[in-house]
Structure 1
Amino acid sequence: MASQSEQVANLPGPRNIDPIEFRNVLGHLPTGVVVLAANAAGQPVGMAANSITSVSLVPPLIAVCAAHTSSTWPLIRHEQRFCVSVLASHHEQISRQFSRSGTDRFAGISWHHRDAGPALDDAIAWLDCELVTEHDAGDHTIAVARVLNLASAQDGRALVFFRGQYGRFEPTNLDLSRRENA
């Protein structure tokens, strides 16, 4: 019997869906932007990601997706622990820096040590994570990690990725009036 990972990897292709069209259509779903970082051989390594989601409250689990072509994910995987820094709305350049290959992604970046790895100082939230399992899924790896510790800033807005562009979340007037009436 094939494992779940093998079953997903061997799914027949649907009606000739173009990968670029697939990306564009799914780009209509706004996502947050994070940096995953670990200490690899005593040096900080990190990568930007927007494929991250909450999986379970009890136990606290998240899932992140990394392309098979990533040269950074294998370094993070090897360490088994990593810190997720949730980027603030003014972090577009940081996201771009952590998306480039062949550069020192931490150059000029203010960061501090957390139990699971490097954390960006000016982020709006941090999650210390431990890798639990991985699943091959097409051209990506789905990694499930247990959240060991977490923290958040008192204020700030998240960096959002939508239709191939960066932006920020703005609450609607309805959201503001609900909070004021609570």
Structure 2
Amino acid sequence: MIGIEPVPADGAQLRQAFGCFPSGVTAVCALIDGVPVGMAASSFTSVSVTPPLVSVCVQDTSTTWPKLRGRTRLGVSVLAEGHDAVCLSLSRKTGDRFAGVDWVAAPDGGVFVHGSSVWLDCSLHAELPAGDHAIALLEIHGLRAEPDTAPLVFHGSRFRRLAAV
């Protein structure tokens, strides 16, 4: 046997295993009654070029996603190296998540974080149940990319930097 063990019921070991895979971090945000509302999401991936789709996974217990899902437009910002504090702020359970965050709103209501490596102007295309999460498929209507801006990387419950090779 090669040492594969069953997944324990509490999920701690599974979360630790998921943490072995580095991921970028995004901010999913919109204006609601003139106020920015948003959350950090590390389970983000490109899905399709035609139609242009990305996905984020959102916990069923999220209190922010129900506020965002019905918006006409959502701003998805791929956070950049140095956005550690922005990510932590957008992950807060209470308080002003946008305190100290430099942001801008698009005319359709998407909110974007300044200094990000990518801005995607999106709308909800579909939502699929997936265990204790929902997979939100987002259709991209517009974008801005800064390919020379290094991304924020989350790995092993810590922020990391990419190394130039």
Q: Normalization by structure 2: what TM-score?
A: 0.90
Query: After superposition, where does 1:146-161 map in structure 2 within 5 Å?
Result: 146-153=139-146, 155-161=148-154
Alignment correspondent of 1:5? none
Query: After superposition, where does 1:15-164 map in structure 2 within 5 Å?
Result: 15-18=6-9, 19-114=11-106, 115-153=108-146, 155-164=148-157
Task: State the one-letter code of the partner of 2:8.
Answer: I
Is the 2:19–2:157 Cα contact (8 Å) retained in structure 1? Answer: yes
Q: Distance in 2 between matches of 1:128 and 1:169?
A: 26
Identity %: 41
Q: Cα RMSD over matched residues?
A: 1.6
3-state secondary structure, aligned to 1:95: helix
Is the 1:116–1:129 Cα contact (8 Å) retained in structure 2? Answer: no
Q: Distance in 1 between matches of 2:162 and 2:72?
A: 32
Gaps of 5+ in 2: 1-5
Q: Deviations over 1:39-92 (max 9, x none)?
A: 122211010010010111111101101111111111110214201111111011
Is the 1:92–1:159 Cα contact (8 Å) retained in structure 2? Answer: yes
Report the structure number with the largest CA radius of gyration.
1
- Which structure's residues are more often helix, by fraction? 1
Alignment correspondent of 2:3? none
Q: Normalization by structure 1: what TM-score?
A: 0.82
| Runs of 4+ with >6 A deviation | none
Gaps of 5+ in 1: 1-14, 173-182
Is the 1:130–1:145 Cα contact (8 Å) retained in structure 2? Answer: yes
Cα shift at 1:160: 0.3
Is the deviation greater in 31-40 or in 115-124? 115-124
Is the deviation greater in 113-122 or in 95-104? 113-122
